[in-house]
Amino acid sequence: MPLSPSDVPPAAAGGLEVRPFRALTYRRHDPERLARVSSPAYDLVTTAARSELASADPHNVVRLIIPELGTAAAAPGQPDATRSERIVAHAARTLREWEEEGVLVRDDEPALWVYALLPPNGTPATVGWLGAVALPPPGSRAVLPHENTFPVAVEGRRALLDATRTDLEPIVLAHDPEPEVARLTAAAQVGEPELRLVDADGVTHSLWRVTDPAVLKEVADGLAGTSAVIADGHHRFAAAQAHARDDGATGEPAVLALITPMGPGGLRVEPIHRVVPGLALDEAAAAAARGFHVTPLRAADRSELVSQVHAWQRDPAQTGFLITDGRSLLHLDQPDDAVRAAIPDGAASWRGLDVVLAHHGLVEGLWGRGDGPDDLVIAHDLGQALDGAIDRAGVAVLLRAPSPADVAAVAREGARMPRKSTLFVPKPRTGLVFRPHEG
């Protein structure tokens, strides 16, 4: 469901500052090669998928965004470096080697890129601009987060950014509608794209490099009157901010971003689920019943369970959320006053969200679990959630996607959803365009 123009705050003074940049790309641009060397965003890559991607090509980008030390020794002059420091240093050396070997090449002139993502199912394409977005100063409403972040994840991305001095993958922003930007976006999609591939999900990714100074100025001027909600990349955005505060950071602080419009041509929102390991379904249901009305749903097998979940997600009259051990299915709704009272104070738009009620009222309140990786595992789709519940002898909390209006209202009021509350799709492919910080 795309964000609509009415869902967002009006553009504030000091809107988005978007700059062209000299991109770093793979020298070979043929679609088959780009499919082999690119990957989904780092936080969508499982351990098994990381191995498959790394095996697909010795220059696959997962070797940079999810680096592994392997048999590499400590870097010269760093015999006492921690393993994590050695890992990011290894990624930085790998990046330099690929440049020196000519695997990656640097553009001669600055550019912005038009990026179109076309799903295979007849859904309209999502089209935006890939550019360097200036990190806004404190108090600015140019870029509005809507989710909490996990400090360990932010620190990991910051360390990688410090080591490589390169934005290896973009964040995604959804900006206020701007007719002139829409016109320029349409006009720039002329001729064959510079880069194109079809990913494993059938999404076609097409990128056009735009270097005309007059067009670049028009795009920058158009976006300067808009503000944006972070649709994807809260941890990378926070890491970029932390990197900019480091003494070693150089240049004007910015972050690589795909800037998409709200409304037509923009992104859609899908749910993200939670898995609580080591919690039996009967134990989870008994604890949940102390604050919710619990109703068993018929699910003779996995196929019927999946059908039940999809029907529930599509029904706008439904409330609450579902829990499952991957085999049986329960519906939780009608939270009592005690559960609602356990939710921390916050903006009305925030307190009314299903994900907040599930996170604070159920997982933390009635189940007594925390938000760390040992207590809560994020599942980006239903299959991951069901498999995770089975594999971890736990339960999955299945949610519906928050509405775009909910997301924008939270951002507008300066509140934060629990981490990993929204899944904006389609996702840009990692490895197509990098942004080095120097030069």
Among 343, 327, 323, smallest CA distance to 274 is for 323
Q: What is the pLDDT of residue 347?
A: 67
Query: What's the mean per-residue pLDDT of the chain?
Result: 89
Angstrom distance (rounded) from CA 246 to CA 77: 21
- pLDDT classification of 341: cutoffs 50, 70, 90: confident
| Secondary structure string (H, E, C) spanning 173-197 | EEECCCHHHHHHHHHHCCCCCCEEE
Mean pLDDT (whole number) for 353-367: 91
pLDDT of residue 250: 56
Q: Which amino acid type is present at position 23?
A: A
Is 99 part of any domain? yes
User: Amino acid letter at 205?
Assistant: H
Tell me: do 184 and 56 sit in the same domain: yes
Q: Give yes or no: residues 114 and 62 share one domain.
A: yes
Structure tokens at 6: 């009415």
Domain shared by 264 and 285, yes or no: no
Q: What is the pLDDT of residues 3-25, one digit of tens each?
A: 443 333 333 447 999 999 999 99
Does residue 416 lie in a domain region? no
- How many Å apart are CA 348 and CA 403, to the nearest integer? 15
Asked whether residue 146 is assigned to any structural domain, the reply reads yes
Residue 247 has a pLDDT of 53
Q: For residue 7, what are the CA distances in angstroms to 4, 12, 262?
A: 5, 15, 9
User: What are the C-alpha distances in Å from 5 to residues 45, 130, 405?
Assistant: 32, 21, 10
User: Domain check: are 99 and 167 in the same one?
Assistant: yes
- pLDDT tens-digit profile of 243-262? 998 755 556 799 999 999 98
Q: Which amino acid is at 230?
A: I
pLDDT tens digits for range 70-97: 544 444 444 456 888 999 999 999 999 9
Residue listed under structure tokens 């150089």? 250
State residue 176's pLDDT score.
85
97/92 Cα distance (integer angstroms): 9
Contacts of 236 (CB under 8 A, 6+ apart): 157, 169, 171, 255
Side-chain-side CA neighbours of 104 within 13 Å: the count stands at 26
CA distance 265 to 174: 10
CA pair distance 414, 396, nearest whole angstrom: 29
Domain-located, residue 238: yes
Q: What percent of the chain has pLDDT over 90?
A: 67
Percent with pLDDT over 70 in the chain: 91
Section 183-206 average pLDDT: 96
Is residue 172 over pLDDT 70?
yes
The pLDDT value given to residue 304: 95
Rounded to two decimals, the pTM is 0.78
Whether residues 161 and 252 share a domain: the answer is yes
HSE, CB side, 13 Å, CA atoms: give it for residue 16.
Answer: 34
Q: Let me know whether 36 and 178 are in one domain.
A: yes
188 and 334 both lie in a single domain: no
In the predicted structure, residue 388 carries a pLDDT above the cut 80: yes
Is the pLDDT higher at 238 or at 74? 238
Nearest to 18 by CA among 188, 239, 206, 255: 255
pLDDT, average across residues 186-205: 95
Q: Look at residue 166 and tell me whether its pLDDT is greater than 90.
A: yes
Are residues 31 and 193 in contact, defined by beta-carbon separation less than 8 angstroms? Answer: no
Question: What pLDDT is attached to residue 292?
Answer: 96
How high is the pLDDT of residue 251?
Answer: 63
Identify whether residues 367 and 244 lie together within a single domain: no
Establish if 261 belongs to a structural domain.
Answer: yes
* Torsional sign, CA 156, 158, 163, 167: positive
Q: How far apart are CA 265 and CA 28, in angstroms?
A: 29
Which residues are registered as beta bridge partners of 173?
Answer: 230, 259
- Contacts of residues 121-126 at CB distance under 8 Å and 24 or more positions apart, as own/partner, are 121/202, 123/268, 124/264, 124/265, 125/265, 126/260, 126/265, 126/266, 126/267, 126/426
Whether residue 418 lies inside any domain: the answer is no
Mean pLDDT, to the nearest integer, of 316-338? 93
Rounded Cα distance, 386 and 391, in Å: 9
pLDDT, tens digit, 9 for 90 and up, residues 417-427 = 788 887 788 89
pLDDT surpasses 50 at 194:
yes
- pLDDT for res 330: 97
Q: Does residue 112 sit within a domain?
A: yes
Task: For residue 407, give the 3-state DSSP assignment.
Answer: helix
Same domain, 138 and 117: yes
Instruction: Give the pLDDT score at 418.
Output: 82
What is the domain range of residue 370? Answer: 273-398
Mean pLDDT for 165-185 is 94
Residue pLDDT, tens place only, 389-399:
999 999 999 99
**Are 180 and 315 found together in one domain?**
no
pLDDT band of 147, cuts 50, 70, 90: confident
Angle between helices 151-164 and 234-245 (to 10 degrees): 60
Selection from 72, 82, 95 nearest residue 166 by Cα: 95
- Same structural domain for residues 144 and 36? yes
| Torsion sign across C-alpha atoms 384, 385, 390, 391 | positive
> Count of domains in the chain?
2
Q: Are 277 and 374 in contact (CB under 8 A)?
A: yes
Measured CA to CA in angstroms, residue 439 lies from 23, 335, 433 at distances of 10, 56, 16
Both 113 and 186 in a single domain?
yes
Residue 235 is assigned to a structural domain of this protein: yes
- Distance between CA atoms of 380 and 356, rounded to whole angstroms? 17
* Alpha-carbon 220 to chain mean position: 24
Distances (CA, A) of 137 to 143, 267, 408: 10, 26, 21
